[in-house]
């Protein structure tokens, strides 16, 4: 991972927030994030609206998502 890259920033953010979240909920070592993130270039208004809809509604179905850490992997 290159220093000062987007991937490096995301890794640092996820590490720091995981520590804070697990400290507050007294649950050391409990997964907080899914394994990877997926980047996407927003090229037009339609793409932007689609992503806004996804972000707004994704958390409503997170408990059933195949990437949720408590669900068995389908891969």
Reported as a single tens digit per residue, the pLDDT across 48-65 is 999 999 889 988 888 888
CA 33, CA 69: separation in Å to the nearest integer?
8
Contact, 8 vs 2, CB < 8 A? yes
CA 43, CA 65: separation in Å to the nearest integer?
27
Helix (H, G, I), strand (E, B) or coil at 51: helix
58 Cβ neighbours under 8 A, 6+ residues apart: none
CA 57, CA 52: separation in Å to the nearest integer?
9
- What ranges do the domains of the chain cover? 1-39, 41-75
pLDDT one-digit tens code per residue, 5-64 = 988 998 899 999 999 999 999 999 998 887 776 777 899 999 999 999 988 998 888 888
């Amino acid at each position: 991972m290159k220093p000062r890259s987007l991937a490096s920033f995301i890794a640092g953010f996820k590490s720091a927030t995981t520590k804070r979240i697990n400290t507050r909920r007294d649950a050391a070592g409990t997964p907080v994030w899914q394994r990877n993130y997926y980047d996407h270039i927003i090229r037009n208004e339609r793409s932007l609206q689609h992503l806004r809809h996804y972000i707004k509604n994704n958390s409503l179905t997170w408990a059933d998502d195949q990437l949720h850490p408590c669900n068995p992997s389908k891969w």
